[in-house]
Structure 1
Amino acid sequence: MKPLPSILQHPEHIHPSLWRGSQLAQAACSTISTGFDQLDRELPGLGWPLGALTELALSRSGIGEIHLLGPAFSRLPPERRIALVQPPYVPYAQCWHNWQLDARRLLWVRSGSNGDALWACEQILKHNTCAALLCWLSNVHSASLRRLHLAARQSETMLILLRPQIALQQSSIAPLRLSLVPCRQGLEISIVKRQGPSCGQPVFIALYPAASSPRNSSHVSLDRALPALPQPGHAFSPVAH
């Protein structure tokens, strides 16, 4: 058989939105490293996209999703803020400090409804003042997802929508959709949708490495317990507005 012409081997030369089904697409927008090499290798552009909608589907809140995003936050421009819209729990300022992040960068938005949360997200994206925007939504219509994605494309914001696992049963315009499940010492991440071939194997991310290896210990090793559900705080430091 004759080899494919060069233009067919590299369809991105025709248009950047084209790619072969056997390869990852070239990122249509800028990306930022996740901080985890094994995850970067599975993502188009080798990182989280900027100026596009990314969905994280959680088995439950508080399983380490913010910890997963922490390394990327540290790579974002320090003069720009990180917006949290409708988070399920009070942000813990000390945790951000432990990640060498200034908690004063946090913009904490509490809304009364999903509609208000979506409006707040659109305004943040429209003004392009935040380096990252995280929004927690359960029920959201496809038209609203499209509006968010289009607004994100006009910005340089790292837009992350956190949703329950059941949301994966619905179609989404988001070019990147990941499923997060807690496991021993970290997270098991399944890539549900990406611009490229399907990813058959989940990616394991160690968020809580063991203090010592079992082979160096004379004691029987025990599995690390799953992270407990975070509890709502009584108050929050005024460093976040």
Structure 2
Amino acid sequence: MSQPLHAFTNRTALQALPCAARLQEVQLDGVWRGSDWHGGRMQQTWPSGHAALDAELPGGGWPGNALVQIQQAPHTHAEWALLLPALAAQACQHNGQLVLVAPPYLPFAPALQAAGIAPQRLCCVQAPDRLAQELAWACEQALHCRDVLAVLAWLPQLTLPAQRRLQLAAASQGRPMWLWQDLQAGQHSSPAALRLRLERAPQAGAANGLQVQILKRRGPCLDHPVQLSLAHWAWMPVLQAQAGRHARQSEEAALLMQGRAMSHALGAAPVMVD
């Protein structure tokens, strides 16, 4: 049988407290307060690796248990430059696969290897003839898999109910999912906990820069975009991987030439007959 309220609290004394004191008095798990938007007390976060972006994200990083919707213009292709620092850091600390659903291009494995992500930890779902709902089902199943670290999906045509299921799966399983869509997706509502819009920086000499507009977050609105410099993460792993590949090719070529020279020398040597 339920007990009346006065059996647990003194209503008169509670009403006499100031409003701020009453808010401090009531700390309920699962209840979010607007003043705690940057504390991250109630959510797990992944540091993005970009200090300017972490300063504006709730909890100081990517939500580690939610759906993140990212909109970008055609030919922007800032996926790996934006996410590589966080994914590489988490891959070094935790086991699990990174599931890529319908990526527009296959990732450059040597660059990921140079950043700290082994190619064998990638699982690509390539299904050009599949419907968006079928690919969404694959994302949902991946989020429920204990061997999955995170999910990245490129699904421009995804219904609102499908997005709700993905948000629920990410929250219940404690895994993040990044949903990449075009700019037209901004015209519709989304259950994603975080929504961003990416554009290349228009300033002269900032070809490797990126503007990140936070469209939705748990906290106050942000009127100005966040400016990121992606020169390091966008190019250094690629250059290092290419340099390593060229070095290995040179070593293999040298060994091959050495083997051919030795074979030629042995073939040209006179045969002694007793």
> If the length of structure 1 is used for normalisation, what is the TM-score?
0.78
Match of 1:159 in 2: 177
In the alignment, the residues of structure 2 paired with residue 95 and residue 135 of structure 1 have an alpha-carbon distance, to the nearest angstrom, of 20
Residues 24 and 79 (structure 1), Cα distance of their counterparts in 2 relative to 1, 3 Å cut: closer
Instruction: Look up the match of 2:13.
Output: none
1:189 partner letter: V
Tell me the CA shift for residue 164 of structure 1. Answer: 0.5
Q: Return the offset for 1:117.
A: 0.9
Match 1:170 to one of 188, 193, 201: 188
CA–CA separation in structure 1 for the residues paired with 2:84 and 2:125: 19
Q: Equivalent residue for 1:104?
A: 120
- Report the CA distance shift for 1:119/1:38 in structure 2 as closer, same or farther (over 3 A): same
SS of equivalent residue, structure 2 residue 113 = helix
Bigger fraction of residues in helix = 2
Paired residues of 1:133 and 1:160 also in contact (CA < 8 A): yes
- C-alpha distance in structure 1 between counterparts of 2:98 and 2:21, whole Å: 43
Shift of residue 175 of structure 1? 1.2
Among 173, 184, 200, the residue aligned to 2:223: 200
User: What do residues 6-31 of structure 1 show as CA deviations (whole Å, max 9, x unaligned)?
Assistant: 344x5983454332379547464211
How far the C-alpha of 1:83 sits from its partner, in A, is 0.7
Partner Cα distance (1:206, 1:11) in 2: 43
- Match of 1:144? 162
Q: Residue 31 of structure 1 contacts residue 45 of structure 1 at CA under 8 Å; is this kept in 2? A: yes
Amino acid at match of 1:35: G
| 1:195 Cα deviation from its structure 2 partner | 0.6
- Match of residue 60 from structure 1: 74
Q: How far off its partner does 1:93 sit?
A: 0.9
Highest relative contact order (Cα 8 Å, sep 6+), 1 or 2?
A: 1
Where does the alignment leave 5 or more consecutive residues of structure 1 unmatched?
210-241
The answer to whether the 8 Å contact 2:70/2:180 transfers is yes
RMSD, matched Cα: 2.3
Evaluate the alpha carbon distance shift between residue 128 and residue 153 of structure 1 in structure 2; reply closer, same or farther with a 3 A threshold: farther
Q: CA deviation at 1:89?
A: 1.1
Q: Which structure is higher in strand share?
A: 1
Count residues with an aligned counterpart: 207
Describe the superposition over 1:67-104 as per-residue Cα deviations: whole angstroms up to 9, x where unpaired: 11001011214421111000011221122123122111
CA contact (8 A) 2:76 2:200 kept: no
Aligned to 1:115: 133
Larger Rg: 2
1:152 aligned partner, one-letter code: A
Taking a change above 3 Å as real, the CA distance of residues 28 and 57 of structure 1, as seen in their structure-2 partners, is: farther
SS of the aligned residue for 1:168 comes to: helix
Deviation digits for residues 106-161 of structure 1, max 9, x if unmatched? 00111222122111101111123211100001111110000111111121322110
| Residue 21 (structure 2) aligns with | 6
